[in-house]
Chains A and B, each alone.
Chain A
Amino acid sequence: MDGRNPKNASMDAIKRREFLIRCAKAGLSVCAAGALSYWFYDPHGPQRGSAKQSTGVRLADFSISGQKPRMGIARGADRAQTVRQAMQAVGGIETFVKPGDRVLLKVNAAFASPPALSATTHPQLVAEVTRLCLKAGAVEVIVTDNPINDPASCFALTGIARAAESSGGRVMLPAEPFFRPITLPGAKLIRNWPLLFEPFKSVNKLIGLAPIKDHHRSGASMTMKNWYGLLGGRRNIFHQDIHTIIKELALMVKPTLVILDGTTSMVTNGPTGGSLSDLKETRTMIVSTDQVAADAYGASLIGKTAGDLPYIGMAAAAGAGTADYALLKPVFAPEN
């Protein structure tokens, strides 16, 4: 041993030429890595509406073709009875649900709150509509929503899960693989946005079931706002442009029917409410093939007009329905 470090000895063994070659290779590797990183780098980030984005899935048109828009209204406190009467007023469930149909009920299960607070679709209504569909010959009734709160808690504590299952329906809770990106052509907001699509795969009829609620941002939450529960992702960003997103939802979803429950309406402190004193007995059930007209009528039950809710006019102007519900010549069921 000459006292030198063995590692230094091996370094000494490299010729100057080889050292330079190795340095050049190392330099090339660093340049290649840098070039690759630069190639991957996107200084603008993902752009909404970018041509590169997938248009994803499209929702079918679930409305009954060749029918004039209809609206049936029944008054009373018993939801099972009033929904039957309002349904009869528009021609009966058989007009819309045929033997062999598979029906999706889009409920509002947004919050894990009790039915008494009317912040969610009432379980009595879910149960009765499920029964009516099965009685008309539907082979399957699926009940779904993508709630704000934990889905299992929401469906359990609202009573919707029990109501649906005890009436022969099947609850489909949202899960990550159930979402697919959707783009509404010409839309400003619904572009490559995750949609709860799995429940739609097997159905050929769609019925929306919504309560009437005051809403801090939009003014009121009714049948059109109910489709908001089909969206996934950080959908709360849409609150900054709430009327546009509701209009786009109304254009995206073409239901067979909507049922607007104004039996007990939330008139203040919505959409969560909390106190029974936020509610008003408005004793009205609305069944309509026109969601815009249904919401326009529903607004009147909580002391508003269609003009107070910009999304109604916007949806009507975009062709989703009519804000002048009188044009539908609503049929009022006789009150018991």
Chain B
Amino acid sequence: MNTKAKNPSRFETILSFGILSVLVLTAGVILVRQSHFNPAVLQLAADQVISGSPAALPASQTAVALVPLPQNVSVLTAPETFGPDTLSDKIDGKAELYLSAGFKRLQSQRFSDTSTAETWMEVFIFDMASQKNAFAVYSSQQRDDAVPSPALGRYAYRTANALYWVHGPYYVELIASEASEAIQNRMQTLAEAFNRVTPVATETITETALFPEAGLDPQSITLIPADAFGFEKFDRVFVAEYHLNGSTLSAFVSARGSPETATDLAAAYRTFLLAFGGRALDDGGIRDAVIVEIMDEYDIIFARDVFIAGVHAAADKNQAVALARSLDTSIEEAIRGRP
């Protein structure tokens, strides 16, 4: 029996040294790269992967359009996609507004108007996961000169150079580089095409119907996703503006998970106001309500079934009570009419 181990051949030795050399070289490269770590590299790499590079599209016709394009509109840049981690790469400081409202994904793309040399437009399709979330970001950015655009849905308006609307869980902005009737018409066609090819489940935002109609400014209804009135427990709060007897008042309503949580939240909000110098007054003749005077203004809070509702920062107590009663009646009717 041969008991001596066989020596490796010359070929095996060379091969082994070759493999070891490659490993040492790899380790060296890793060490050198690690010692020159630069967060900007990660930034650029992430952009390239997630956002694409619009400017790298010399023949933009090669890019796919996110939306069916009408006549005289063509693709200008490739679509871009952003998630919660990269949203600020597109909209910078406004990202927090969307993130706090449940943002999932943004797709955007630029189109050019082929009938003019310079005009272009950009579509921003924000997937907000639910219609309520979409309504939150839609309502909190409404423009003063908004003109309702019912062809795009109940929550839709246009300004001189842009269209804004809610379509199911999507909040969509279509913004042109200039204002003209021609570009408005093209944007309207493009927006209607988006709605047509994007089927969504029908959802109803029930809270908006709870606000009594007398004196209501329907365009003012806003959904505050978080920290309403500076109270951190107050989320998903609908606020509406009223013009009554020459005064402007704000009413609010929010649906909670159960009557108990609504009652508890009403009590917590009352405590919050009192902790900041508020003074509890009477109930104004509204069952289980409380009126809090704070900094020469009046807040009225009450809970009804799963709803917490009231009036916020009213200058006149009597007008605030009148509006709160009206709101209470409207909510009671809605509760009674519920199947």
Show the binding face of A for B, using Cβ within 8 Å: 12-15, 18, 46, 110-114, 116-117, 148-153, 156-157, 176, 179, 181, 193-194, 215-218, 221, 232-236, 239, 242, 268-272, 274-278
Contact = CB atoms under 8 A, between A and B. Distances in A.
B92 A232 contact: no
Interface stretch (B15-23, B154-162, B247-255, B302-310): B154-162
A271 B92 contact: yes
Nearest to B91: A272
Contact of B3 (A15, A156, A157): A15
Given A14-B5, A114-B178, A153-B55, A233 B39 contact: yes
Contacts of A268: 143
Interface string B38-60: 11111110010001011110000
B88 A152 contact: no
Contacts of A153: 54-55, 77
Contacts of A270: 93-94
B3 A176 contact: no
A148 B88 contact: yes
A116 B177 contact: yes
Given A150-B47, A271-B92, A276 B39 contact: no
A234 B39 contact: yes
Interface of B: 1-3, 5, 37-44, 47, 51, 53-56, 77, 88-97, 110, 120, 122, 141, 143-146, 159-162, 164, 173, 175, 177-179
Contact of A215 (B93, B161, B173): B93
A234 B50 CA distance: 14
Nearest to B98: A216
Nearest to A159: B118
A176 B41 contact: yes
28 contacts: A15-B3, A112-B54, A116-B161, A116-B178, A116-B179, A148-B89, A148-B90, A148-B91, A150-B47, A150-B55, A152-B53, A193-B39, A194-B40, A217-B93, A221-B93, A232-B43, A234-B43, A235-B43, A236-B92, A239-B93, A242-B93, A269-B143, A270-B93, A274-B173, A274-B175, A275-B160, A276-B162, A277-B146
B88 A236 contact: yes
Nearest to A115: B177
B161 A276 contact: yes
B162 A156 contact: no
A150 B96 contact: no
Contacts of A18: 5
B42 A234 contact: yes
Contact of B88 (A114, A233, A239): A239
A176 B164 CA distance: 37
A67 B110 CA distance: 47
B5 A216 contact: no
A275 B1 contact: no
A335 B46 CA distance: 48
Contacts of A176: 38, 40-41, 44
Contacts of A151: 55
Listed from nearest, the 3 A-B pairs whose CB atoms lie closest are A232-B40, A233-B39, A152-B55
B43 A233 contact: yes
Contacts of B93: 215-218, 221, 239, 242, 270-271
Nearest to B157: A275
Contacts of B43: 232-235
Q: Which of B88, B92, B160 gathers most chain A CB within 10 Å?
A: B92
Contact of B39 (A13, A156, A232, A275): A232
A289 to B, nearest CB: 27
A13 B5 contact: yes
B92 A233 contact: no
A179 B43 CA distance: 11
A215 B97 CA distance: 11
Contacts of A112: 54, 110, 122
A190 to B, nearest CB: 13
B142 to A, nearest CB: 9
A13 to B, nearest CB: 6
Contact of B40 (A13, A15, A148, A233): A233
Nearest to B119: A114
Contacts of A232: 38-40, 43
Given A150-B54, A194-B39, 7 more contacts: A18-B5, A157-B110, A179-B38, A194-B40, A268-B143, A275-B161, A275-B164
Nearest to A18: B5
A179 B178 CA distance: 35
Contacts of B97: 216
Contacts of B179: 116, 276
B38 A181 contact: yes
A287 B151 CA distance: 47
A276 B141 contact: no
